[in-house]
Structure 1
Amino acid sequence: MHVLLIPVAFSTCIHSSQIMVECRYCEQTFEEESALREHLYEVHERDELSRIDQKRVEQYVDEHGLDESDNEEDQSPDQSIQREQRTVDTSDGIYPADGWELSDVEALSTDEIVEKLTGHGIETNETAFLNRVEDCNSATALSEQWEAEYAVDATGYDQDFIWMATQELWERWAPDTPNKERIYDFVQEGRDLREKGNRTAACDQWLTAWEYIVAVTPDDITTIEAADRQLPTFLSLEPFIRSLDSDLATVAEDEPAYHENRLEFCREVVEQFPDADDELLLDFHHFIADSLAKLDRTSDSRAELESLIEEYPEDPYAYKKIADSYWLDDLGDLTVEEIERTAELYQAALEADTALEGASIVADRLDDVENRLAEMGASDERES
């Protein structure tokens, strides 16, 4: 799974029609996050940036193989003096002077968080907060609303405090309302659990992350690519869902109940993204059929594969799987018509793809089916 450990760079409210990112230092707006990172690197001094924007600059430097000192050579002596002035410790002895971490904000009481927000010009309470989260799916977006509406007095690291405080208040006041920032927590917790060998618990965390992804993705988004543009930048959606499916299948081998989890997840993927590319849809419909088969819902599995044949007649594996479900599982109970259908399906699989993986096995099974039909025909003739 592809996860970059970078803070959420930007987000939007649910009703936004276009993703825009804004420079909070000069209020220019950009259509792409990459353009904002370049702007911060070229125009603004490092020492005036909040931690999240410093991360943006670091990413830009890494992506382009640059040295941050290259940018500093273009700055005037006056700018250097300003940087030195900003290094003065402005801490009041209660809050950190060298930057905020989420753990710092988590350690504060709710009253302390609200009081510090008030000190920065932001007035809020639980009722007002809950009204706002009804129409917003991101703590960062909500904090940006505040900064746009209020005369916010916050510079440097205190800008980090605002979005961290928003995220923490969301956790305390609206814990059952999904937001984008929590997706990162669930994904990372899952990765940590998997690294410790607890794949089952990891899948549970990732399924929760998936629930949040569905919840914060607008209904009019029907492709993976469009969803990626709405979701936090640390997450690459298609690798994530493919990895989750693979881990669910592995876990289900030892814990059969997870076949049901996998079935539900794969159905949600194809329902959430009906306009995804054919390769992904084909794969996940196969995963649905596989899960149904593992749950001994053979007729449902065959029906899923029959639908695939109608939609993707060039796919050989749907033919093969249905044929196998007859020939390998119900051999003793097959009627002549079912055996004939099995032969047709194996033949169709070979014709759909001459380079079919395991084609020789399919050909051998076709021979066995045809021999069985010949034997049954000869037997009928003797009896008559």
Structure 2
Amino acid sequence: MSDEDILKRLKRMGIPVDREIFLRDLQTFMHSDRVAQLWLEQSGSPSVREEAMFPTLAAKELSRRWAPDVLSFDKLEDMVERLSDYGSPQQDEERLALLRTVWDRLKTHFILPLGIRAWDNLYARFPTFIDFAWVLDEYSLTLRNASVALEVEQRKALLEERIALCREQQELFTDIEPDQLLNLRIEIGESYGLMGDFAQSDLTFENITADLPDAVWAYIQWGDLYRKSDRAKAASIYSLGLERCQGNPDNLFDLKELENRMAGLAQL
């Protein structure tokens, strides 16, 4: 539909749209759905109930046409949905480029200016089907997976980027859940190990396990770094985890995984 056709149909529904006001509202509400909701609230036309989806679709389309440079939240959602276009390992470079852009835009346009300190804060402001915590997990995982195919010296840049990503989240999300914070710390420790800096990796995991002695996955990830190069050290780390993590019923499933890791050393 042309702009004129969209505007005419909205007008028939009792929703006269002024371009200047639309742009102002889009910048204020930061989501085309919010603008459409405002239209619905202001319209008294009975036809709105019969065509309830059209104002939402129209606001989204007008946002794309009239405000291509205004980053509304729904445009950020569209960017995330494009990740499915880059699903194979051969497309890691393209996937990383898109993930970097999503994180930069999310941080610059929403997290920092709105003072977002936890994912729940973001979702309360912008209800969405997108799990942005998963998006950043995917960013971190893609950096890791892309790096392990490279030589140690070449993988360093990607792993340093991963460490920076984790630390940035620690600084920004001061109210995130403890398990999310733990995962960030584990990813930092793993990244140091994968780049060959085992001294810093060991220090990171020692600090984690000193703070959280029964964090099973810290021992798993730490020991995994030594499975091929130093089985004796891997065994000592797994054993330490098995010793410290007994007695917590919440750890039963993870302890089984740790036991499997220990048993698997004999088969290497």
TM-score normalised over the length of structure 1: 0.48
CA distance in 2, matches of 1:137, 1:244: 24
Aligned pair count?
241
- Correspondence list, 1:3-42, <5 A: none
Structure 1 match to 2:145:
250
SS of equivalent residue, structure 2 residue 77:
helix
Structure 1 match to 2:75:
182
Q: Report the AA paired with residue 72 of structure 2.
A: N
Deviates more, 1:139-148 or 1:225-234: 225-234
Compared with structure 1, are the counterparts of its residues 184 and 316 closer, same or farther at alpha carbon in structure 2 (3 Å cutoff)?
Answer: closer
- Correspondence list, 1:228-239, <5 A: 228-239=123-134
Task: Answer whether contact 1:290 1:301 (CA < 8 A) is retained.
Answer: yes
Compared with structure 1, are the counterparts of its residues 297 and 196 closer, same or farther at alpha carbon in structure 2 (3 Å cutoff)?
Answer: closer
CA distance in 2, matches of 1:317, 1:193: 29
Compared with structure 1, are the counterparts of its residues 117 and 271 closer, same or farther at alpha carbon in structure 2 (3 Å cutoff)?
Answer: farther
State yes or no: 1:279 paired with 2:179.
yes
Displacement, 1:350?
Answer: 5.8
Compared with structure 1, are the counterparts of its residues 286 and 112 closer, same or farther at alpha carbon in structure 2 (3 Å cutoff)?
Answer: same
State yes or no: 1:124 paired with 2:18.
yes
Q: Report the AA paired with residue 141 of structure 1.
A: R
Aligned-pair identity in percent equals: 20
* CA deviation vs aligned residue, 1:239-297 (integer Å, no higher than 9, x gap): 55444433332223346344344334333444444333333321221112222444556
Higher relative contact order (CA 8 A, sep 6+): 1
* CA deviation vs aligned residue, 1:310-342 (integer Å, no higher than 9, x gap): 4323336657849x78xx69xxxxxxxxxxxxx
Q: Report the AA paired with residue 352 of structure 1.
A: R
CA distance in 2, matches of 1:267, 1:176: 29
Which structure has the larger Rg over C-alpha atoms?
1
Compared with structure 1, are the counterparts of its residues 351 and 195 closer, same or farther at alpha carbon in structure 2 (3 Å cutoff)?
Answer: closer
Compared with structure 1, are the counterparts of its residues 194 and 303 closer, same or farther at alpha carbon in structure 2 (3 Å cutoff)?
Answer: same
Q: Structure 2: any 5+ residue segments left out of the alignment? A: 231-235, 247-254
Structure 2 match to 1:288:
188
Q: Report the AA paired with residue 82 of structure 2.
A: E
Structure 2 match to 1:167:
60
CA distance in 2, matches of 1:155, 1:307: 59
Displacement, 1:133?
Answer: 2.9
Displacement, 1:302?
Answer: 4.9
CA distance in 1, matches of 2:147, 2:115: 30
CA distance in 2, matches of 1:152, 1:213: 36
CA distance in 1, matches of 2:90, 2:238: 40
- Correspondence list, 1:284-323, <5 A: 284-295=184-195, 301-302=201-202, 304-315=204-215, 321=222
Compared with structure 1, are the counterparts of its residues 176 and 309 closer, same or farther at alpha carbon in structure 2 (3 Å cutoff)?
Answer: farther
Displacement, 1:189?
Answer: 1.6
SS of equivalent residue, structure 1 residue 134:
helix
Compared with structure 1, are the counterparts of its residues 237 and 153 closer, same or farther at alpha carbon in structure 2 (3 Å cutoff)?
Answer: same
Q: Structure 1: any 5+ residue segments left out of the alignment? A: 1-103, 330-343, 363-384
Displacement, 1:139?
Answer: 0.7
- Correspondence list, 1:1-384, <5 A: 104=1, 108-109=2-3, 113-114=6-7, 116-118=9-11, 120-126=14-20, 128-149=21-42, 151=44, 154-155=47-48, 158-194=51-87, 198-211=91-104, 213-214=106-107, 215-216=109-110, 218-222=114-118, 224-225=119-120, 227-254=122-149, 256=155, 257-295=157-195, 301-302=201-202, 304-315=204-215, 321=222, 349=241, 351-353=243-245, 356-357=258-259, 358-359=261-262
Displacement, 1:140?
Answer: 0.4
SS of equivalent residue, structure 1 residue 175:
coil
CA distance in 2, matches of 1:314, 1:157: 57
CA distance in 2, matches of 1:115, 1:313: 65
Task: Answer whether contact 1:121 1:153 (CA < 8 A) is retained.
Answer: no
CA distance in 2, matches of 1:112, 1:259: 51
Displacement, 1:190?
Answer: 1.1
CA distance in 1, matches of 2:101, 2:91: 16
Compared with structure 1, are the counterparts of its residues 246 and 114 closer, same or farther at alpha carbon in structure 2 (3 Å cutoff)?
Answer: same
SS of equivalent residue, structure 2 residue 48:
coil
- Tell me how large the CA RMSD over aligned residues is: 4.4
Displacement, 1:352?
Answer: 2.4
CA distance in 2, matches of 1:353, 1:229: 36
More helix by share: 2
Compared with structure 1, are the counterparts of its residues 197 and 160 closer, same or farther at alpha carbon in structure 2 (3 Å cutoff)?
Answer: farther
* CA deviation vs aligned residue, 1:348-377 (integer Å, no higher than 9, x gap): 556424654444799xxxxxxxxxxxxxxx
